Amino acid sequence: DSGVTQTPKHLITATGQRVTLRCSPRSGDLSVYWYQQSLDQGLQFLIQYYNGEERAKGNILERFSAQQFPDLHSELNLSSLELGDSALYFCASSVEAGLAGEATEQFFGPGTRLTVL
């Protein structure tokens, strides 16, 4: 158990709908990262938050948005869903955002499997 929790574990919805994925980082971790794992794209970084502020953005679609709340939990909002959005969405957390010359292990949650029908 990594200490990172994600809800829900599974989500089945229809095209055009909107869903919210929730993540609670490990106690004490300030950074939250969202990754998408799909068969055709592999594991891709979406977005990072550090202590409530957006820190880095990857290949995140405009239909997707995220935020980190004062209690450090994070939500990933996916709207106008398409079939191609079906994927496993991971949240990860680490103690701090990386500094040059240092690396911080990221702890992954169990993921939310999203199926868009």
Stretch of 19-27, 61-69, 74-82, 90-98 lying at the interface with other proteins (CB under 8 A): 90-98
Binding mask of the shown chain, residues 94 to 113, with x at each position contacting other proteins by CB under 8 A: x--xxxxx-xxxxxxxxx-x
Cβ within 8 Å of residue 80, ≥6 positions away? 16, 18, 63
Distances in whole angstroms, Cα of residue 113 to Cα of each of 36, 84, 95: 10, 13, 25
Residues that bind other proteins (CB under 8 A): 2, 31, 33, 35, 42-45, 48, 55-56, 58, 88, 90, 92, 94, 97-101, 103-111, 113
